[in-house]
Copies of this chain bind each other. A is one copy, B any other.
Amino acid sequence: MASEHSVPPTISEVAAAAGVGRSTAARTLGGYGYVSPELRERVLAAAERLGYRANALARSMSTGVTQTLGVIVADIANPFFGGVVRGISDASRARGVETLVLSTHEDLAEEIAATDVLIDKRVDGIVVASAALDVGSAAHIQQARDRGIPVVLVDRAVTGLLLDTVVIDNRAAARDAVAKLVAAGHRRIGFVWGPPLEDRPQRRRELTDVAARNLWTDAQRLQGYLDALDDAGILFDADLVMVGRKTEENAEVEVTRMLGLEHPPTALFCTENDAVTGSLRALRAAGLRVADDISLIGFDDSSWAAVMEPPLTMIEQPTLALGTRAAEVLFAAIDGESPAPQVHTLRTRFVERASVAAPRER
């Protein structure tokens, strides 16, 4: 433990202290090649005496294993990804593996750069919530795999990319939530938020085409909303779908617009946390109370949603489980145990509270 050096010693210094050659010390400390038990013991004793610390980088150059995973997420400041990363690092730690995280701001060029860094840092595997919309923009993922680094997708599928993919049942969760609003008597249900379009599409097909070319989770949730309308025989109304930038501010603007329609929505389905808080800002400004005046269901549950007045009915994503499952699938691939790639779909939980009521008589 005690070190005579302020800077840890080199392998050569350990070799000199042990009275062996440098290559013997290197083989012992690097864990490769043959060293007699007697010499090995002398090297290890000298290493301990001098406070030698193996340079894992040099070690990984010879063994090819660094005991690190790489994780690439769209936005580390989003609590959803915080939970996923936590799940991955919990599972990794159980194997003595460290997790290196990079955040890309939902930018494909940054994702490609992040992948390069992880390849260069020789991680053993990569989990990515990719901004790639289809296999045509996923060459960086293919490049990692070509170099023998297993990759698992999390949160989003990438169309045409046949990789292990760990996601939630976005479409079914949205369909079920909107069905609850329908069951409470609602037929005018606002969708917050939709695809980032400048102009409002008037045709349903146009909307779904655009959604399909954008973020996979968004498209799935929109499709679930449309499924529920179809199930109930409710005609799609483009005026009830938010368009434009996906921000809290724009959600407020768009919900305010919907509230000014001749036939305003009596309920809102919000697909993100910022869509929920933006909607609540608009309702407050309009003097409307949740449940009494307008019903609301949101994606993703949080401590805050539970202490709102009234407490909000929310869809809870299994964020930690998404992370741990992704890590488990990745470790199976690293260990060479993986079967054909598949989509692993985890269940969301519908947390019923008090933000849904019958539509108010007008």
A85 to B101, CA, bound (A): 10
Is residue A19 contacting chain B, with contact meaning CB distance below 8 A? no
A75 to B101, CA, bound (A): 12
Contacts of A117 in B (CB 8 A): 56, 68, 98, 100
Indicate if the CB atoms of B306 and A281 lie closer than 8 Å.
yes
Contacts of A101 in B (CB 8 A): 76, 100-103
- CB < 8 Å neighbour of A79 from B61, B79, B85, B113: B79
Contacts of A309 in B (CB 8 A): 308-309
Contacts of A100 in B (CB 8 A): 100-102, 117, 121
- Counting chain B CB atoms within 10 Å of each CB, which of A76, A85, A110, A307 scores highest? A76
Indicate if the CB atoms of A7 and B280 lie closer than 8 Å.
no
- CB < 8 Å neighbour of A8 from B8, B76, B146: B146
Is residue A77 contacting chain B, with contact meaning CB distance below 8 A? yes
A66 to B89, CA, bound (A): 24
Contacts of A306 in B (CB 8 A): 277, 281
A290 to B58, CA, bound (A): 59
Indicate if the CB atoms of A277 and B307 lie closer than 8 Å.
yes
A86 to B104, CA, bound (A): 10
Is residue A38 contacting chain B, with contact meaning CB distance below 8 A? no
Majority SS at the chain A contact face: helix
CB distance from A291 to the nearest CB of B (A): 12
- Counting chain B CB atoms within 10 Å of each CB, which of A85, A117, A120, A143 scores highest? A120
Interface residues of A in 40-85 (CB under 8 A from B): 53, 55-57, 60-61, 66, 68, 75-79, 82-83, 85
Indicate if the CB atoms of B83 and A77 lie closer than 8 Å.
yes
Contacts of A76 in B (CB 8 A): 76, 82, 85-86, 89, 101
A307 to B120, CA, bound (A): 45
A98 to B103, CA, bound (A): 9
Each complex incorporates copies of this chain amounting to 2
Indicate if the CB atoms of B78 and A82 lie closer than 8 Å.
yes
- Counting chain B CB atoms within 10 Å of each CB, which of A61, A117, A147 scores highest? A117
A280 to B302, CA, bound (A): 14
Is residue A218 contacting chain B, with contact meaning CB distance below 8 A? no
Indicate if the CB atoms of A77 and B79 lie closer than 8 Å.
yes
CB distance from A255 to the nearest CB of B (A): 12
A56 to B118, CA, bound (A): 10
Q: In the complex, what residue of chain B is closest to A148 when comparing beta carbons?
A: B7
A304 to B275, CA, bound (A): 11
* A and B contact pairs by CB, cutoff 8 A, 17 listed: A7-B146, A55-B120, A56-B120, A57-B57, A66-B120, A68-B121, A77-B82, A77-B85, A79-B82, A98-B114, A99-B102, A99-B103, A100-B117, A121-B121, A277-B306, A281-B307, A304-B305
Given contacts A56-B120, A76-B86, A77-B85, 20 further A-B contacts (CB under 8 A): A7-B146, A8-B143, A8-B147, A57-B120, A57-B121, A57-B122, A76-B82, A77-B82, A79-B79, A93-B110, A98-B117, A100-B100, A100-B102, A121-B121, A277-B303, A280-B307, A284-B307, A304-B305, A304-B308, A308-B309
